[in-house]
């Protein structure tokens, strides 16, 4: 079963989330289970490619699963991945983190699940973040005691991923533009997108957040990821508590594990990634 939950975030924008429930009715369930939240990355959305399939596999394994659409990742056409450029340009990491935290607080406070659905939830939240979503998940896990397990997939290790030359030009122009050949859209990012990312240094950095994690943490990375180097996984692992963390490389795995949008079918590489995640959650 699947349904949508919407809320007005702190920026007065609408955030949409999907909730997936195991087939077994809540009234028939004897075991309470965690809720798993999937967090997408840059230029993605909750319905992109493998995310709905991933959610369905989690529910087949008995978990409640959910996925979030960040409010400024608004699409004009979901099938073609066409974004609203004006809204996309205004996005920041801090806003996305705020939206995740607000959704978690809504879950905990009883605003999201019905009374019947709550009967199947054990109060724990697990996070799965892909690409940029991995770094967002790390920051959120570091500050939320309700998050009990974390999986990052092909995650970046730092929000400052730009060269000094790129940043200098960005500051001079007040924006950054880039063309997406797959959607034939010209993307724009306002200066605030960069300045916000540059605040995540020192104790606010992704690496510092990883070092403070006191929950089981699985790092998964495709060994041929050309978008986010597999070296990022090694950096995250080195920063982590080795007694709680694990690093797994996926053979022949690229950034999206060979999956495109719209989703057609899974493959061995994606299924291996999902199986690793579910087995980790089950352990």
Question: How many structural domains is the chain composed of?
Answer: 1
| 193: in domain | no
Q: Can you give the pLDDT at residue 27?
A: 42
| 194: in domain | no
| 176: in domain | no
Instruction: Give the C-alpha separation, 154 to 133, whole Å.
Output: 9
Which DSSP category does 50 fall into?
T
User: How many beta carbons lie within 10 A of that of residue 239, not counting itself?
Assistant: 19
Q: Can you give the pLDDT at residue 30?
A: 64
Instruction: Give the C-alpha separation, 273 to 283, whole Å.
Output: 16
Q: 162 phi and psi, to 5 degrees?
A: -105, 150
Q: Can you give the pLDDT at residue 49?
A: 96
Q: Can you give the pLDDT at residue 25?
A: 46
Task: Please tell me whether the overall predicted TM-score, pTM, comes out greater than 0.85 for this model.
Answer: yes
- Length of the chain equals 283
* pLDDT in single tens digits along all 283 residues of the chain: 899 999 998 888 899 999 999 986 444 456 899 999 999 999 899 999 999 999 999 999 999 999 999 999 878 788 878 889 899 999 999 999 999 999 999 999 999 999 999 999 999 999 999 999 999 999 999 999 999 999 999 999 999 999 999 999 999 999 999 998 878 889 999 999 999 999 999 999 999 999 999 999 999 999 999 999 999 999 999 999 999 999 999 999 999 999 999 999 999 999 999 999 999 999 9
Q: Can you give the pLDDT at residue 71?
A: 92
| 148: in domain | yes
Element housing 125 (H / E): strand 121-130
| 125: in domain | yes
Tokens describing residue 180: 């997406």
| 55: in domain | yes
| 192: in domain | no
Instruction: Give the C-alpha separation, 32 to 24, whole Å.
Output: 12
Q: Can you give the pLDDT at residue 24?
A: 66
Domain span at residue 31?
2-160+200-282
For residue 44, the domain's CATH number is: 3.40.50.1820
Instruction: Give the C-alpha separation, 202 to 27, whole Å.
Output: 48
| 99: in domain | yes
């Amino acid at each position: 079963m699947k349904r949508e939950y919407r809320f007005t975030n702190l920026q007065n924008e609408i955030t949409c989330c999907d909730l997936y429930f195991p087939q077994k009715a809540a009234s028939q369930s004897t075991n309470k289970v965690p809720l798993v939240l999937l967090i997408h990355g840059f230029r993605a959305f909750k319905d992109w490619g493998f995310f709905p399939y991933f959610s369905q596999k989690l529910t087949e394994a008995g978990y409640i699963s959910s996925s979030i659409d960040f409010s400024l990742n608004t699409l004009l056409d979901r099938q073609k991945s066409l974004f609203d450029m004006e809204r996309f340009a205004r996005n920041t990491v801090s806003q996305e983190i705020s939206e995740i935290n607000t959704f978690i607080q809504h879950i905990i406070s009883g605003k999201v699940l019905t009374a019947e659905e709550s009967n199947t939830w054990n109060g724990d939240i697990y996070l799965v973040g892909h690409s940029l979503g991995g770094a967002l998940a790390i920051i959120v896990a570091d500050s939320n005691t309700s998050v009990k397990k974390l999986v990052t997939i092909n995650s970046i290790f730092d929000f400052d991923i730009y060269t000094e030359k790129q940043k200098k030009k960005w500051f001079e122009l007040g924006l950054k533009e880039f063309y997406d050949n797959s959607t034939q859209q010209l993307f724009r990012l306002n200066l605030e997108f960069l300045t916000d990312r540059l605040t995540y240094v020192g104790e606010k950095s992704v690496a510092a957040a990883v070092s403070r994690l006191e929950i089981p943490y699985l790092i998964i990375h495709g060994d041929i990821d050309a978008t986010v180097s597999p070296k990022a996984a090694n950096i995250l692992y080195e920063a982590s508590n080795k007694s709680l963390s694990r690093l797994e490389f996926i053979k022949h795995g690229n950034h999206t594990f060979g999956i495109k949008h719209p989703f057609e079918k899974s493959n061995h590489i994606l299924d291996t990634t999902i199986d690793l995640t579910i087995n980790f959650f089950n352990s």
